[in-house]
Amino acid sequence: MADAIKFTKEEMDRIQDLRSQGSKLMLELGQAEAELFLTHRRIEQIEAAKEQLTNRYITLQNAEQELVKDLNSKYGAGSVDVESGEFIPA
């Protein structure tokens, strides 16, 4: 078996520097992956909130249409002055 050869101090410094840089990059990649995961999770939460708000808006629009229909059948066509609370026939 051949005798082991020792690296020079400069070669060992370069090897250790490369290993250190590799470890640092792996840590940064892990942090980036964690941030990406948290960002996707936050987007999902925002999308769920948006869907709930959209559903509430649709419900509100339906209630408004129902009120207009009820008022039209009671008072006929016209408009409402919200400030005075008066109905103005068409």
- SS3 call for 81: strand
> How is residue 4 annotated by DSSP?
P
Q: Give the pLDDT confidence score for residue 54 in this predicted structure.
A: 98
pLDDT of 76 over the 80 cut: yes
| Model confidence pLDDT, tens digit, residues 25-56 | 999 999 999 999 999 999 999 999 999 999 99
User: 6, 14 in Cβ contact below 8 A?
Assistant: no
pTM (2 d.p.): 0.65
The pLDDT-based confidence of 87 (bands split at 50, 70, 90) is confident
Domain residue extents for the chain: 10-89
